[in-house]
Amino acid sequence: MSKTLTLKDIDLAGKRVLVRVDFNVPLDKETGEVSDDTRIVAALPTINEIIERGGKAILVSHLGRPKGKRDPKYSLEKVAERLQSLIGKPVTFVPDCIGEEVEKAVSKMNNGDILLLENVRFYSEEEKNDPDFSRRLSSIADIHVNDAFGTAHRSHASNVGVARYLTSVPGFLMQKEIEMLGMAIENPEHPYVVILGGAKVSDKIGVITNLLEKADRILIGGAMMFTFLKAQGKSVGDSLVEEDKIDLAREILQKAREKNVEFVLPVDTVIAKEIAAGSESKVVDLEEGVPAGWKGLDIGPSTIELFNKKLSDAKTVVWNGPMGVFEIDDFAKGTESIARTLASLNDAVTIIGGGDSAAAINKFGLAEKVSHVSTGGGASLEMLEGKEMPGIKSLSIEGGKKKRRLMVAGNWKMNKSPNEARMFAGFLASSIGNENAVDVVVFPTSLSVAGVADILKDTSIKFGVQNIYPADSGAFTGEISASMLSDLAVEYVLVGHSERRHIFGETCELTGEKIKSVLKHGLTPIFCVGETLEEREAGRMKEVLETQIRKGFSGLGKSDLERIIIAYEPVWAIGTGVVASPEQADEAMKFIRDLIASLYGVDLSESVRILYGGSIKPENFESLISMENIDGGLVGGASLQESFVQLVAIAESHA
């Protein structure tokens, strides 16, 4: 049975750790200072664990909803100041979350340092979960820790997208939320009592429906109660009722009866004519009903007594939604009483949903007296509804198949003049959409890269060079270096292609030096390995691959490996029209993956992407990429024609 990796399973020393926290905290409207630092405090154990074990903590969060634009009102600068005073260590605030300034700040980090990046929602790509943005975010790190439970119901780049490129493990807060809420949903100890309140039935219908399957009692407070009471024919005066949910309320009451779930509604309520402090208020029995012109704004004393009785023997309690307008003291008694009752239930697991329920518990200073106060309102609600949580589903699992992002790469080799290359790049740009679920990369000749870069710059199609020499500059006639490529925004470099090895005599050692140079300049190597027909027929395929891998990777650490893509290109299938069978290809690539597992660990072997190369065509590509160990293709001849677009479409259908 595979399990989610945890922070304890990961070697953190020297690692650049991208930590997704939820620092979406309220800021004081006048001073801009943090007015409630609960969520910052909740992240401290994870941050301290990382820096105490020698990691470099690079924190990323959103704040508010700035709609993809830079807005000082939503800056995390003040949050960085509060974090620094809470953690008692310097926190460097970086006024961006991707790009040169971030890369420079990360490169200057020492083990144990803390960076907080600027609001990730200043980029619209965050909420779109844009793959390129996810890749850029993950490129500054070696591992991803997701401690943002409050955002776990969102599928965004910084919590979900990056998990395609980095191993992603839960932080301590995320782990505790999953354990506590997961227990309350899957395996609660009985009697199991759920208390629901807040404003609207429509907000909580999912929770009620889901928990009717598990709970023994459901206690209803807040404004929600009036929709149920009206469904029972009681008069509710001017209380907050969702008229369009009355039938639904009746159905729920009926379902509760069928399932033998005690559905407990208030028996009295505190009413007032205005929702304002100091307005005249009184308690009415709900059998008599709320008089016209009055609103029910809290549960009454008899209801408090009734609810306390229903809670007295509970073993598991979940509370989501205040019992009344708790923001105003006149109508906070119900909420405060329930909070105090839960705090007194020493034999029960007491779990508070996030949002206003958490605010209420904190308001009465009772957070330490309950088992768990969730840091996510919407997130805990959706989890209690049994909805899938993208920010949890994306976590890496041990031994399980981690979905790796597919790649289709076109190696143009020595084909297409610069003008022909520009023309063909223009065709690709117009034929391949920008919202790709797979990575598309082309490798023109070095002569054509600048022109192709210009054509592709506003598309999602990436590009690279077919070879480099491992020096940064010097007397190497005809060669180019990795250090020159940043001028052209090149991201990928083919290294060790079989033609470099067998036509130009490149040794494994030279290939290894090229890989180091590519990594040094922040580029992504596509490291080609493969055996010749003679070697395969002599039964030496594995020996040859092992030699090439070990020599190519010599001196590289896990963090380097996380940035490398491998291409298995059996020499006998390159340019010969003979394609490896899916089984042959998968066998070789499984061997490579197992070798990486033995050298660098399971989680890395699961996340490294391995492409197949050798006579790929639209008619054989589908069967290849459906294999367990094949994450795409390094395409030769077929990348020079329109068939390349078909290959991308095939990969998209598999993403």
The 3-state DSSP class for residue 544 equals helix
Rg of the chain over Cα atoms, rounded to whole angstroms, equals: 30
Binding-site partner at residue 159 among ligand ADP, ligand X15, none, CB < 5 to 8 Å by type: none
Binding mask 338-377 for ligand ADP (x = CB under 6 A): -----------------xxx-------------------x
Instruction: Say whether residue 267 binds ligand ADP (CB under 6 A).
Output: no
The 3-state DSSP class for residue 563 equals coil
Q: Which is nearer to ligand ADP, 162 or 241 (CB)?
A: 241
Residues 6+ apart with CB under 8 A from 186: none
Given a contact cutoff of 8 angstroms between Cβ atoms, the answer to whether 530 and 490 are in contact is no
Tokens, residue 199? 């404003």
- What would the 3-class secondary structure string for 439-505 be? EEEEECCCCCHHHHHHHHCCCCCEEEECCCECCCCCCCCCCCEHHHHHHHCCCEEEECCHHHHHCCC
The 3-state DSSP class for residue 157 equals coil
Query: Applying CB under 6 A, which of residues 53, 154, 422, 536 lies at the interface with ligand X15?
Result: 154
Q: Which of the stretches 138-146, 327-335, 376-384, 424-432 binds ligand X15 when contact is defined by CB under 6 A? A: 376-384
Please indicate if the annotation marks 575 as binding a ligand.
yes
Q: Which of the stretches 362-370, 373-381, 602-610, 625-633 binds ligand X15 when contact is defined by CB under 6 A? A: 373-381
Which listed residue (49, 125, 497, 499) is catalytic?
A: 497
Binding-site partner at residue 327 among ligand ADP, ligand X15, none, CB < 5 to 8 Å by type: ligand ADP
Shortest-Cβ-distance residue relative to ligand ADP:
198
Instruction: Say whether residue 150 binds ligand X15 (CB under 6 A).
Output: yes
Please indicate if the annotation marks 411 as binding a ligand.
yes
Q: Which is nearer to ligand ADP, 270 or 482 (CB)?
A: 270
Return the DSSP state at 34: B
Q: If we measure between CA atoms, which residue out of 176, 247, 246, 248 comes closest to residue 206?
A: 248
Instruction: Say whether residue 223 binds ligand ADP (CB under 6 A).
Output: yes
Q: Which of the stretches 45-53, 322-330, 578-586, 617-625 binds ligand ADP when contact is defined by CB under 6 A? A: 322-330
Query: Applying CB under 6 A, which of residues 297, 519, 566, 588 lies at the interface with ligand ADP?
Result: 297
- Shortest separation between residue 177's beta carbon and ligand ADP, angstroms: 16
Tokens, residue 390? 């993208």
Instruction: Say whether residue 322 binds ligand ADP (CB under 6 A).
Output: yes
For residue 372, indicate whether it is catalytic. no
Tokens, residue 217? 């009692």
Q: Which is nearer to ligand ADP, 18 or 297 (CB)?
A: 297
| Integer Cα distance of 569 and 645 in angstroms | 21
Alpha-carbon dihedral of residues 369, 372, 373, 377, nearest 10 degrees?
A: -160
Residues of this chain, 60-79, that bind ligand X15 according to CB under 6 A: 65
Q: Which of the stretches 27-35, 112-120, 375-383, 624-632 binds ligand X15 when contact is defined by CB under 6 A? A: 375-383
For residue 190, indicate whether it is catalytic. no
In 148-243, DSSP assigns E strands to 168-170, 192-196, 217-220
Residues 6+ apart with CB under 8 A from 66: 73, 74, 119, 121, 122
Which listed residue (336, 562, 569, 606) is catalytic?
A: 569
Per rule CB under 6 A, count of chain residues that contact ligand ADP? 18
Instruction: Say whether residue 390 binds ligand X15 (CB under 6 A).
Output: no
Binding-site partner at residue 546 among ligand ADP, ligand X15, none, CB < 5 to 8 Å by type: none
Instruction: Say whether residue 464 binds ligand ADP (CB under 6 A).
Output: no
Instruction: Say whether residue 321 binds ligand X15 (CB under 6 A).
Output: no
**What number of other Cβ atoms are within 10 A of residue 65's Cβ?**
11
Distances (CA, A) of 544 to 12, 356, 529, 534: 33, 62, 9, 11
| Integer Cα distance of 493 and 521 in angstroms | 11
Please indicate if the annotation marks 636 as binding a ligand.
yes
Residues of this chain, 286-305, that bind ligand X15 according to CB under 6 A: none
- Shortest separation between residue 340's beta carbon and ligand ADP, angstroms: 17
Q: If we measure between CA atoms, which residue out of 379, 351, 410, 330 comes closest to residue 644?
A: 410
Query: Applying CB under 6 A, which of residues 321, 334, 353, 376 lies at the interface with ligand X15?
Result: 376
- What would the 3-class secondary structure string for 610-625 be? EEEECCCCHHHHHHHH
Tokens, residue 383? 């989890």
The binding site for ligand X15 (CB under 6 A) comprises 22, 24, 65, 150-151, 154, 354-355, 376-378
The annotation places the binding site at 22-24, 39, 62-65, 121, 154, 204, 296, 327, 354-357, 411-413, 575, 615, 636-637
Catalytic residues: 497, 569
The binding site for ligand ADP (CB under 6 A) comprises 198-199, 203, 222-223, 240, 296-297, 320-322, 324-325, 327, 355-357, 377
The annotation places the binding site for substrate at 22-24, 39, 62-65, 121, 154, 411-413, 575, 615, 636-637
